[in-house]
């Protein structure tokens, strides 16, 4: 039997997360895959190198996956509350996949020192011409 929580019970459970002084933050981003495709056509490999490491480039074979990694890095930067810029660059965020293809990420030492992430989760999906990512971070 499926156990569905009422909205109020869900809020009580979520508020319990802060019992341990963990700040939970969520970031999301959505991008049109054809926008990424146009950038790839116009700039070629330089576009990928602008925001992906060589290891990440090896992981992404399809344009939809490249768009998913773009959305993921944007979502992570939004969850951290700083966006992509001088405090956090695209290359400070390292996306990997486990043996089952599930994405995860780490930060560079410099960025981890600033943001002090204790736990995180990342989800990437693409369908209907869009790629979307959601990052959940506790600090």
Q: Can you list the alpha helix ranges (DSSP code H) found in 1-139?
A: 7-15, 33-43, 45-51, 54-59, 63-79, 109-115
3-state secondary structure of 15: helix
Q: Is residue 11 part of a domain?
A: no
Q: Is residue 47 part of a domain?
A: yes
pLDDT in tens, 41-97: 999 999 999 999 999 999 999 999 999 999 999 999 999 999 999 999 999 999 999
How many domains, the chain? 1
Q: Is residue 3 part of a domain?
A: no
Phi, psi values for residue 71, rounded to 5°: -60, -40
Q: Is residue 73 part of a domain?
A: yes
Q: Is residue 12 part of a domain?
A: no
Q: What is the CATH number of the domain that holds 111?
A: 3.90.470.20
Q: Is residue 36 part of a domain?
A: yes
Q: Is residue 124 part of a domain?
A: yes
Phi, psi values for residue 25, rounded to 5°: -130, 145
Global confidence as pTM: 0.84
Residues assigned a catalytic role: 78, 126
**Residue 115 structural domain:** 20-138
């Amino acid at each position: 039997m499926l156990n569905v929580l009422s909205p109020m019970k869900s809020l009580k459970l979520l508020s319990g997360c802060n019992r341990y002084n963990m700040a939970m933050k969520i970031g999301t981003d959505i991008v049109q895959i054809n926008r990424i495709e146009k950038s790839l056509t116009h700039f070629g490999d330089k576009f990928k190198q602008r925001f992906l490491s060589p290891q990440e480039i090896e992981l992404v074979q399809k344009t939809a996956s490249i768009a998913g990694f773009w959305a993921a890095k944007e979502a992570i930067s939004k969850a951290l509350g700083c966006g992509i810029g001088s405090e956090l660059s695209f290359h400070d965020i390292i996306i990997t996949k486990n043996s089952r293809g599930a994405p995860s990420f780490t930060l560079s030492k410099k960025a981890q020192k600033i943001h002090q992430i204790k736990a995180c989760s990342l989800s990437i999906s693409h369908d209907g011409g869009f790629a979307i990512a959601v990052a959940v971070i506790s600090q």
